[in-house]
Amino acid sequence: MLTVFGPTRGTSCFLSIGTGTPKSEEVPSATLLNVTGFAASMASIATNTEVTNVLFRSLINAFAPTPNVKKYWRFNVGNGCPDWVPTEDGTSFQWVLRETREEQKLGELDDVAAMTKTIEAAKLYIGQKGAQDMMQECAQSLIVS
């Protein structure tokens, strides 16, 4: 019998979907004349989901629930399609980029004017071979044996 819920249920796929790769920007100096700019930069750093993504994918793939089996996929426009692949000698894994990483100035999540740009970027991303290969692998992991 297949267990659907609960702590004993096996998990073969964790899926994370991003809204784009933000452009790296210099943090302005904290001065009395630039309190707003400094505060905005700190808020951006604190809410950046890429750091969480890197930590989470490393922990999930390395340990949960089966060690050293790929089970985490993140699809994020412009991130270069990072993938966790075996080394040539097959003794360990390494991260590689399947596509070119492209940072961009992103609109805020509630910015309706940025929606068209996000849709176009997503279409281009989905058309990349690296993204298609990752989608195929992710879908394959969902097949119940």
As a whole number, mean pLDDT of residues 66-93 equals 82
2, part of any domain: no
Mean pLDDT of all residues belonging to the chain = 78
Find where tokens 């989470």 sit.
Answer: 56
pLDDT value, residue 1:
47
132, part of any domain: yes
Count up the domains in the chain and report the number. 1
As a whole number, mean pLDDT of residues 3-25 equals 72
- Give the residue from 121, 137, 62, 118 showing the smallest Cα distance to 94: 62
As a whole number, mean pLDDT of residues 24-41 equals 71
In this structure, what token pair is assigned to residue 118?
């996000």
pLDDT value, residue 133:
92
Structural domain including 109 reads 14-141
Reported as a single tens digit per residue, the pLDDT across 103-131 is 777 666 677 878 888 888 889 999 999 99
